A and B are shown apart, each in its own frame.
Chain A
Amino acid sequence: MARPTRLLCVLLTVLALAVPGTAARADDLSFGVLTQRSPVLTAQYWNPILDYVARKSGVKLALKVPRTAPEANAAIAAGEYDFTYSNKIFNPRPGEPAYRVVARPDGPPIRGQIVTLADSPIRSLDQLAGREVGFPSVTAFVGYGVPMDHLIRAGVHVTPVFGGNQEGIMAQLKLGKVIAAGVNDQVMREFASREKMEYRVLWQSQPYHNLAIAVHPRVAKATADAVQRTLAGMSADPEGMAVLQASAALVGQASAEGFVAASPKDYANYEDFYRNMTVKDFR
């Protein structure tokens, strides 16, 4: 490549890296999502929902999909997102913004699970002792924090292996690269349905509400309320239901689930977990 051309490309790259890569306009509010699926699938799931919210409430939300869960957590800790869909808002450290829960998915609660392939010789957690077990990442609440906490309390010492996100570790499990994995039961079910995979649940946790939609304190209450109302009424609106059904079909959900208004009290067991957890590297 000629030198002037190469220089131009470098300048353009630097310029591009200085600007967030989104489909957003300058006046859009950001909506950061904790990565549970691949970034593209996440965007395919959320963008139609956010477009619906914009059409109905007038609040334009720009989807922000971080590359990894730690990135998402860091962004939340730094208060970069105006709205977030995450479960990393229940244990804020000093100086971190106190995101407020405004809504949650209207579906069954999620559980942490330790699973293995259906044809695996592993039948109980004891058989995992000393083995490598896969987890999405050190930041996955029901995928790592909850199941690992249980393994430690049960005295089953395993070597954790991380797949980057939920989809990543489930793919490794399917390929047989790990003997067992800690997963989100819903995401696991959807993945298995999509990939025609059969698996066995070795253990599962108490139910937790799925990730919460929370708002940054800087966002005006009226805006937060508008978003909350729109999301909560989505399943009652045929247009909203159509969007939800399309998104559900995309990720392999058995049925479309809407959103309901929620408050911090709905997530009290999260706070309990954080107070008593034994997993030192869970962040």
Chain B
Amino acid sequence: MIGRGAILWKRTPLLGRLLVTAGLGLMVAEAVMLGISARQDAEDARTDLQEELKTQLVVLPPALAEYVVVGDFATLKQTLDRVAGDTRIAEVYYIDQSGVMLRSIDAPPPANVPGWFRHLLGIGDITGTAPVTVGGRPYGELTVVLSAQAQIAHIFAQLVYHLGALLAALAVGFAAMWQVLRNGLRPLTELEAAARAIADGDLSVRLAEAGSPELRSVIVAFNQMAEATGIARHRLEFSNTELVRLTEVTAHHLQEPSRRLVTFSRRLRTALGEQALPEDAAASLTYIEQQAGRLRALIRDIQLYLAVDQSNDEIAPQSVAVAMGLVLAEKGRREQLEAIGAEVTLASTLPEVALERRRLVNVFDILLDNAIRYRRPDVPLHVHVSADWTAGVIRLRFADNGRGIEPEYRQQVFRMFERLHPMPGDDSTGVGLAIVQRIVEHAGGRAWIEETEGGGATVVLQLPTGVP
């Protein structure tokens, strides 16, 4: 019960909390006041009854004395009936010296008041007796019973009236508070919408100052924050654009010399002929050719890395199986795989992912190249692509049975230009997994490496199911 209350309270908006808190506070305060007032009324009523009883016991015996003295019991009975007709007198009876009783009862009907209220008030009918004495000689005793019903009913009616007035006042107060708070908190709603707009990238949103002084101060601070963020973002975008442009220009301008370096080193090798070259000169020439190729590969990978952010292609669900088919169908790929005896298998069911097709192809290209590059020389390469998905998330698993990566390096390998244990003849640029990570993160996902069961590395790509 308390847990449900806490949950309900957490879900209650500020407006509701304020109203509930204020209402409960007022209700408790007023209930205490009404209780005290009712008890005081009860005390007053008790005193009134006792005073009236005292008065009746003083006044009535002389008034009845004449009928008692002459023995006119018929008139005495009529008088007692009249006395009992008084709203407060419930019963009056006279007992003479011989024990004869004359009794009149006219108790008012019980007040329509709950029992707990009577109990709370603690007042009831009171009884008093006085002797009827004339000339020093006792003639009998008069007993009067006063009813508290009228007082109880009056106090209860007062309580109900006050309670009604209280509830009406609370209702009016609530309505006024609700109106004030709703109007007062409206700027918060606008602030929330503006914050969401900023989160969505719209830094132009500004709020007009409104509401209470505190809220105005918050809005001013928010506008200052949005302004500062916009300026910072503009500077960052400008800087980033310049950096990308410089990198692209650099890559572009480096591409031509690197291509010529390759071209002219080949020409030189052709012109000199293999036999005429001394051994160390041939080795140097080979080294120049290899580094020129590596330089071209680096430039290509850097361009690919930069291109991740600049795609304008429409993002539509892409079949993983189709993308993998395109990779396997690339020129020379089949021969490459056959040459090393590699096998690539796909799970029977593969999902679609929200990613540009060419980026998905890039990812599989890089992962397949890595699998080939880091395969175990004595074990035929086997690559298996599978997937599992839960609510909102797809996990693609690209598993090989190669050399694998030690756990402590599995994060490190995603950095730019990071290569583990480079080997002679290794043409890796160290950029591939950085590109994979950038593509996946750009799509709102993330990538990591696990160990393949039986040895090898499994690259896991977690992507959202929807369009990012």
Contact = CB atoms under 8 A, between A and B. Distances in A.
A224 B67 CA distance: 29
B238 interface: no
Nearest to A2: B105
Contact of A13 (B71, B73, B105, B139): B73
Contact of A1 (B76, B96, B105): B105
A9 interface: yes
**Residue in B69, B73, B76 with the greatest tally of chain A CB atoms within 10 Å:** B69
Interface string A5-49: 100110011011101111111100000000000111011111110
A35 B94 CA distance: 24
Contacts of B134: 23, 40, 43-44, 47
Interface string A90-131: 000000000000000000000000000000000000000000
A47 B135 contact: yes
B82 to A, nearest CB: 13
The 8 closest A-B pairs by CB, nearest first: A21-B71, A47-B135, A47-B137, A44-B135, A43-B134, A43-B69, A23-B139, A16-B73
Given A19-B98, A24-B97, 11 more contacts: A9-B103, A20-B71, A21-B73, A22-B71, A22-B97, A22-B139, A23-B97, A23-B138, A23-B139, A24-B98, A43-B65
A12 B65 CA distance: 19
B102 A16 contact: yes
A201 B379 CA distance: 161
Given A1-B106, A65-B70, A67-B70, A19 B100 contact: yes
Interface in B109-156: 134-140
24 contacts: A1-B105, A9-B77, A9-B104, A13-B102, A16-B96, A16-B101, A19-B96, A19-B98, A20-B71, A21-B67, A21-B69, A21-B73, A21-B76, A21-B96, A21-B139, A23-B138, A23-B139, A40-B62, A43-B135, A44-B135, A45-B135, A47-B135, A65-B71, A67-B72
A200 to B, nearest CB: 31
B66 interface: yes
B147 to A, nearest CB: 14
B347 interface: no
A48 B138 CA distance: 11
A17 B100 CA distance: 9
B135 A12 contact: no
B324 interface: no
Interface in A76-101: none
Contacts of B100: 12, 15-16, 19
B70 A66 contact: yes
Given A9-B104, A12-B101, A15-B100, A63 B70 contact: no
**Residue in B67, B98, B102, B137 with the greatest tally of chain A CB atoms within 10 Å:** B137
Contacts of B70: 21, 39, 65-67
Nearest to B105: A5
B140 to A, nearest CB: 8
B74 interface: yes
A257 interface: no
B135 A46 contact: yes
Contacts of B74: 13, 17
A190 interface: no
Contacts of B67: 21
Contacts of B53: none
Nearest to A42: B69
Contact count band on A: 20 to 34
A44 B136 CA distance: 7
Contacts of A149: none
Nearest to B62: A40
B105 A39 contact: no
Contacts of B136: 47-48, 51
Nearest to B99: A19
A271 B100 CA distance: 42
B73 A39 contact: no
A51 B134 CA distance: 12
A144 to B, nearest CB: 21
Contacts of B106: 1
B103 A8 contact: yes
**Residue in B98, B135, B138 with the greatest tally of chain A CB atoms within 10 Å:** B135
A38 B135 CA distance: 13
Interface string B12-37: 00000000000000000000000000
Nearest to A22: B71
A182 B72 CA distance: 28
Given A40-B66, A40-B69, A23 B137 contact: yes
Contacts of B77: 9, 13, 16
A16 B77 CA distance: 9
A204 to B, nearest CB: 31
A10 B100 CA distance: 13
Contact of B66 (A1, A19, A39): A39
A12 B71 contact: no
A23 B131 CA distance: 12
B262 interface: no
A47 B134 CA distance: 7
A84 B96 CA distance: 23
A232 B190 CA distance: 114
Interface in B40-63: 62
Contacts of B72: 21, 67
**Residue in B67, B103, B134 with the greatest tally of chain A CB atoms within 10 Å:** B134
B105 A25 contact: no
A171 to B, nearest CB: 15
A77 B97 CA distance: 27
A55 to B, nearest CB: 12
Contacts of A66: 70
A202 to B, nearest CB: 32
Contacts of A63: 69, 135, 137
A71 to B, nearest CB: 8
B219 interface: no
B68 interface: yes
A43 B67 CA distance: 11
Contacts of A46: 135
Contacts of A17: 73-74
Interface in B150-190: none
Nearest to B65: A40
A128 B387 CA distance: 140
A20 B139 CA distance: 12
Nearest to B73: A16
B134 to A, nearest CB: 4
A40 to B, nearest CB: 5
Contacts of A48: 135-137
Nearest to A67: B70
Interface string B68-97: 111111101100000000000000000011
